[in-house]
Amino acid sequence: MKAMIWKELRENLKWALLAMLALGLAEFYCLLEMNDSSNDSAATLCKSSFLTATTFGCAVAGIILGLVQILPEQKRDQWAALLHRPVTRGTIFRGKAFAGILLYLLATIPPFLACIWYVATPGHYAVPFLPAMTLPGIADICAGTMFYFAALFVGVRRGPWYGARIFGFPAALIGSAFVNDIFFGVSIGVPTLMALVLFTAGCGAISTNGALRDQPWFVRFATVGTVVCGAFALSALTLSILFMFSLRQAYYGTSYNVDLEGRPLKFIQGKDGLTVTDLTGSPVHDQRFTTGSSYNYLLSFAQVTDDIMGDFGQRKAMPREMEEGYRNNRTYVVAAAGAFNTYTESWYYLPQERQFVGYYTKTKQRIGAIGLNGFRPGYEEASPFPARIAASLYNVPAFVQFGSTVYHNDFDQRKLTPIFSEPGTPVFGTAPMESAQDHFISQNWAAVALLDKMLVVDKAGQVLATLPYHQDMTRWGSVYIAVTPSKDRFFLQYYPSQWINYKQREKMPSFYEEMDAKGNLLHTYTLPPIAGPVEMPTWQGYPMEYLLPPPIFVVGYLAYDKVGALCGSKELASDLDEAWTDEWGSIKSFLICGSTASFLFALVTIAWARRMHFSWGRTWAWALLVLAFNIAGFITFRLVADWPVCVPCPQCNRKRPVEEIKCPHCQSLWPAPKLDGIEIFEKRSPIAQTVS
């Protein structure tokens, strides 16, 4: 095996070095590329372009290294010379795989380590670096091993390219989908497991030329699992493309807005263009709203809270903290507003450290940190705040909330100033006021949602307006706020609370309330519910509903959300709650339709297997596989099962397997071959022997 490893390293080292150079150039280019996206404003190793380079670069490197090890040796009888070595085929495959993994790691790890060094070294970026920011790249490198073993599986398996051989790459795609999971352990564990499955399937393919009957049980499971995952990926992709062309929407979009004069309007975007009406339905002929800059003539509403009170007041919904996956830069670093001159200083919030850090833009040196114990200069660490910021924005605004205390970011003074804190008074949300016409408001005014009223405060803590609620907050607890350019009239917009079932929410109205700074109610406007898009299903939509979601995947999806919720994930807990409430009708329909299709495919599998003279044990095993995985299992049955070679029976002329001694129809034996005169041994009559 050592000789095989050295052979592979010597022959393919040049390809690994070439892949390392190409991947390094791509990663550094994406790392140094300027990106104005708000989600990437504070990103380095978690920048979307950089992660694109690591995701596709590692996968392509794995595929190339796997194919160059196998495909060249299958030409001009080189494969036969390789297999005639005095070692088993499994040893040859393991030697190739071990050497290939070393070459793959050589191609992917050094460029990534160079990028880490460049980002972590002070003076290169005016952005903080945290060791956890390397996790997405590590996950991509691990995921690339799946594509390497998929390439080996494709190379060593016998058969046409349109058969089971090509399903190794789609199987790796299924594993790579888990790289985007919010849990790093899942993103590492699933690709590692899939890589092990592909390795085992490849080892079985080279050892037995793909026949299942000659493989150990765990190799059979690996081969079948590889093709099932690949068939599911291809069928899902095909059906999804069909489903994209199956929906015809009856309209383009409808929304409510308020113009600068405080007049509620309804905007209807149809095939013939934009139509603007008032709440009574009368057309509004105003050219300002038909241009691309119509937002300049409308009030900007800021969402202050998702939910004031839930479950008819039985629980109090506090503002949610930022919860992102490990691949999102906002999990580690979030750009923060509050510095007067953003051209000289950049400040960031670190959710895991629960503190703010600042950098000089030109020198890219750290200014200091702000925490519970105030400002600490240079690289001195500040004490973390007792809780994370309750926000879900692309950047941390000038007004932030820790628990029930609201602060104003005053980075020029190197401090956070508390502007609202009343013991025993819960705060359900905080948001800076928005205005497309006056940038001063967003930096100096904030809305604070309390249990029975909304407060508007400035950065000094002075209450500018007190706006009591006039709706049932147990039902309409999602509140937005806007202010007119004259700053004397305020609008509150009420939406149904998030805990209410979606089908019920879409039938509930919303409200506008117009008040002055003293909280006097000037007008109340009822906004009728907007009908959702009308979907006109066509024939392409039915395969998506019946064939795509096998029952085992639907049950597994719900079980995954349940386990994640038990582990403390708020996002998965919310997904599970939504699945049992808003989406349960669709899930139930998928379960019924998918189970029906799986049952029919299983019946066809039983009939086909028995017609081809499969034993009852093999027949039921394949039927259960098809029943669990729907069309993906049926494709696997057709491509992977050991189909017997059948010829006409000389007695009954019906198909019989050549491997069986007796015909399964007439129970006759194979007849003796006819003599044609060229036999080596002549047939002689027995000679009688006499006993003396």
- Cα 130–133–135 angle (5° rounding)? 135
Helices vs. strands in the chain: H and E counts, helices first: 15, 24
Residues 6 or more apart from 37 whose CB is under 8 A from it?
48
The phi and psi torsions of 464 (rounded to 5 degrees) equal -95, -30
- Cα 97–101–102 angle (5° rounding)? 120
Task: Tell me the C-alpha distance between 511 and 258, whole Å.
Answer: 12
Tokens of 373: 């114990």
- Kindly give the parts of the chain with pLDDT less than 50: 36-38, 249-251, 311-321, 692
Q: Are 46 and 137 in contact (CB under 8 A)?
A: no
Tokens of 335: 């750009």
Tokens of 321: 């903290």
> For position 119, what pLDDT does the model report?
92
Task: Tell me the C-alpha distance between 154 and 158, whole Å.
Answer: 8
Q: Can you tell me which residue has the tokens 């080996």? A: 152
Task: Tell me the C-alpha distance between 45 and 55, whole Å.
Answer: 12
> For position 318, what pLDDT does the model report?
43
Task: Tell me the C-alpha distance between 45 and 329, whole Å.
Answer: 8
3-state class of 490 per DSSP?
strand
User: What's the whole-model pTM score?
Assistant: 0.79
Q: Can you tell me which residue has the tokens 């995952």? A: 229
Q: Can you tell me which residue has the tokens 């290294």? A: 65
Residues 6 or more apart from 97 whose CB is under 8 A from it?
149, 152, 199, 202
Single-letter residue type at 507: K
Tokens of 455: 């407060």
> For position 311, what pLDDT does the model report?
44
How is residue 662 annotated by DSSP?
Answer: B
The phi and psi torsions of 678 (rounded to 5 degrees) equal -115, 15
675-691 in b/e form (b: 16+ CB < 10 A) is eeeeeeeeeeeeeeeee
